[in-house]
Amino acid sequence: MIRTMTIEAMRARSELVTKTREFFLSRGYVETDTPLLAPWLIPESSLEAFATEFKHPFMEEMPLYLIPSPELWMKKIIADSRTNVFQLCKSFRNAESLGRLHNPEFTMLEYYTIGGDSSSSARLTEALFEALAPPDSPKEARPPFRRMTMAEAFHAYTGLDLDSLVQEEAMIEAARGLGLMVNSEAPWEEAFNIIFLSLVEPVLPMDRPLILDEYPAGIECLARDIPGRPYKERWELYVRGIEVANCFTEMVDGRAVADYFRSQAEKKAQALVPHAVDTRYPEIFGDFPPCSGVAIGFDRLFMVMMGMRDIGEAINFPFSGFFKDKAKTEA
């Protein structure tokens, strides 16, 4: 039988949900509730989707997709209301490994602050951790946050000067110089990821939460560029070496968003699960307010705050259990 959480863990998680809502509502944020199904998605070449379709006896079938995050809908609300918003909802990502940190269906906490940037969102997130951490949570999950830029991390753990590696050839040669296997035709982002995942991420400090800031501009995303430097206003938060959150100063230039959509849509054509893209979506940025957004994997957040080692302890009926039950049934 598929394992469930302990009743004590369920109570603790329920309390964490309540505290999260209280934190944002007390600061004037509006809680949104948006669809889990969409006829199109924001294209992200690093993510695979779940596809289904709407069937009706008298209408044409409509392809639909389970959202990988509520960003698609929340930004439409921001464009209409210019209001600080947050949401707790299910999100879905396909074709990822199963294990102690992954489940294809997971809970996302996402929040957007009008007039904010990645720095102010870091302070807000630190305050959130202060408010949520149980008295007996591990010190590694408690503020104050440590901050390190990606360039500082690369230099500290590989000796590389990331500023000088903006060209594909330079990044590939740097990876090979460190003894890593990289295809000579590899894109810049692939070579970067091989170095980061092999030599940097495993040795990031774990004594307290770490904000890894200023991601390279060579990794396409909807974060604002840092003027005059090859980096984005983007950070990720690591707790006990586990990626828990992702933050952007949001890209609000409609033309830049449209360029991103075109580039990523071309790459998504080769995806395991291709999906439709709303080519008119960038139009919402015609008068979009400056803002910053943070996405937190809520299951992981609960896991690290409770000192758990496996996401199966933090959720009911983990997906990996389906395979174990299936194997027993077929045995």
Q: Within a domain: residue 309?
A: yes
Assigned domain for 156 exists = no
Residue type, 225: D
Residue 115 has pLDDT above 70, yes or no: yes
Q: Domain of residue 114: give its range.
A: 7-145+208-322
> Does 278 reside within a domain?
yes
Span 192-205, pLDDT tens digits:
999 999 999 999 99
Q: How many CB atoms within 10 Å of residue 1?
A: 8
Residue 182: phi and psi, rounded to 5, are -135, 130
pLDDT category of residue 226 using cuts at 50, 70 and 90: very high
Per-residue pLDDT at 328: 61
- pLDDT of 217 > 70? The answer is yes
Distance CA 304, CA 138 (A): 8
DSSP-based helix, strand, coil % in the chain, nearest 5: 40, 20, 40
Please indicate, yes or no, if residue 69 is contained in any of the structural domains: yes
Residue type at position 105: E
Any domain includes 198: no
Q: What's the pLDDT band for 323 if we cut at 50, 70, 90? A: confident
Look at the chain and report how many structural domains it folds into: 1
Closest CA to 146 of 250, 219, 236: 236
276 within domain boundaries: yes
CATH code at 63?
Answer: 3.30.930.10
Residue 72 lies in a domain: yes
Q: How many residues does the chain have?
A: 331
175: in domain = no
Residues 6+ apart with CB under 8 A from 118: 213, 223, 233, 234, 235, 247, 248, 249, 292
Residue type, 231: Y
Sign of the torsion formed by the C-alpha atoms of 313, 200, 237 and 88: negative
